[in-house]
Amino acid sequence: MAEDMILDFSKNSDMAIMILRYFNVIGSDPEGRLGEAPRPELREQGRISGACFDAARGIIPGIKVKGTDYKTHDGTCIRDYIDVTDLVDAHVKALQHAKPHNVGIYNVGTGKGRSVKEFVEACKKATGVDIKVEYLPRRPGDYAEVFSDPTKIRRELNWTARFTDLQESLGIAWRWQKAHRNGYSSS
């Protein structure tokens, strides 16, 4: 619906518009300037990376994986994880190619899915912590596999994900987490 509204707006505007569809963002700035620091009330509904880091830091007792009976290689959902550094690069490429009256719509991802179990194992290795995992029944409506097809953005904007090592991206994010125990707060 949001895309439809943007497309309607573009019909009567000279604004250059690009729509980027991205999936599960992970990682942090490799130079340590920026990282993930959700407000406490948002942590419960946060992303899997935040839950893994909270568990590794002892903020929560472990993580909850919902669903182990999907028709995937290990029974858990498969998702496309995109490093934030690649996402920034995709935005820059989109801005460089944006033209009025020519809305670009692009999927931004690796094009490769990773299972939730693989993600958790990568997080355990990146943090060096044996994170406790509780397996629960699946959530209603969750798809077994969701990952991008980045063919169009590669072809039209010459963009491709470069930071695709899950453990490395999580390791960079973990360094930020350890250095910023209170997020951006100085207290």
Stated pTM of the model? 0.91
Q: Return the structure tokens found at 58.
A: 């002892």
Q: Which residue has the tokens 């980027």?
A: 20
For residue 77, give the H/E element and its range: none
Q: Cβ atoms within 10 A of the Cβ of 75, count?
A: 17
In this prediction, residue 181 has a pLDDT band, given cuts at 50, 70 and 90, of confident
Of residues 90, 92, 94, 113, the one with CA closest to residue 102 = 94
Give, rounded to a whole angstrom, the gap between the first and last alpha carbons of the chain: 41
Q: Distance between CA 36 and CA 90 in Å, rounded?
A: 19
Average pLDDT, the chain: 92
User: Residue 187 has what pLDDT?
Assistant: 42
Residue 45: pLDDT over 70: no
User: Residue 182 has what pLDDT?
Assistant: 80
Topology at the third CATH level for domain 1-33+48-179:
UDP-galactose 4-epimerase; domain 1 (3.90.25)
Length reported for the chain: 187
The 10s digit of each residue's pLDDT in 118-168 is 999 999 999 999 999 999 999 999 999 999 999 999 999 999 999 999 999
Q: Cβ atoms within 10 A of the Cβ of 138, count?
A: 16
Residues 109 and 147: beta-carbon distance below 8 Å: yes
**Amino acid (1-letter code) at residue 126:** A
Of residues 108, 131, 109, the one with CA closest to residue 119 = 131
What average pLDDT score do residues 101-130 get?
Answer: 96
